[in-house]
Structure 1
Amino acid sequence: MSDSPNVVLVRRLYDSGMDPAVAAETIDPDIVWDITPGFPYGGVYRTWASAGADFFGRLAPHFAAFGAVAEEFYDAGDHVFVHGHYRAVSKSGQASDARFIHLWTVRDGKLTRLIQAADSHIVQQAANG
């Protein structure tokens, strides 16, 4: 069975490694980016510009590398669930993996909302180590 158009859209973002050109094509500029409390810089960011500057811009300096690896995609109509893990490498070179679930909302061919739940403790340890 082939993927739905919404799964194809979400998969494209993960497969690109959050390439800025792909993000610009897939993410609505007014996205709501909801990061679980306890995760570094957890909170609700209300635009892609804010998520980029206020979340990723503050998170990235804590790591030598950080990325999301999607393992499974679940189609739920206007929503797509993604199960996967974050692969983090601390500034000291220690690698760690932390599981996540992402719930995406798709409207008119764009990603309009992300709700994230993740193993915040592992990410906090990696950010501090």
Structure 2
Amino acid sequence: MNAPENIALVRHFYASKAAPEVFQEVMDPELVWDITPGFPGGGVYHGPESVGRDFFGPLLENFDDFHPVGEEYFADGEGHVFVLGHYHTVSKRGATADARFMHIWTVRDGKLAKLQQVSDSLVVDRVING
């Protein structure tokens, strides 16, 4: 895939608000999900099942709404897509916030194979814990 196709793939994922069926459609079976330390659930996860169960499962227990919003997209010729954006969050207690992120995606064979995330974890923590 070329850079515009790679960006379109990532945009599709964000446009779905990370819907589970789209997640399954676009993620590589060998997915590596690298979340910055300090972010809730920060760590490295391997495979879509682990990401869903071990990362999103505990994270989403804290939110009525949590989804990525891509704002700017850039790609290189090496299969990377760089996204600047924010997580839109609404906690179970009704607190809302938008926490900025930078995502670096690696696309392989038309699938999202790796995510490296950097985010404002303090904003997310305050939404959860007050």
Instruction: Provide the TM-score with structure 2 as the length reference.
Output: 0.93
SS in 2 for 1:18: coil
Q: Distance in 1 between matches of 2:119 and 2:113?
A: 20
Cα shift readout 1:69-121 (whole Å, capped 9, x = no counterpart): 11111011210001000111122211111100000000110110000000000
Residue identity opposite 1:115 in structure 2:
Q
List, as ranges, runs of 4+ consecutive aligned residues in structure 1 with deviation greater than 3 Å: none
Total equivalences in the alignment: 127
**2:24 and 2:48 in contact (8 A); partners too:** no
**2:35 and 2:116 in contact (8 A); partners too:** yes
Residue identity opposite 1:43 in structure 2:
G
User: 1:8: Cα distance to partner?
Assistant: 0.7
Counting aligned pairs with the same residue, the percent is 54
Map 1:1-129 to 2 at 5 A.
4-77=4-77, 78-129=79-130
* Larger mean Cα displacement after TM superposition, 108-117 or 61-70: 61-70
Structure 2 residues not aligned, in runs of 5+: none
SS in 2 for 1:39: coil
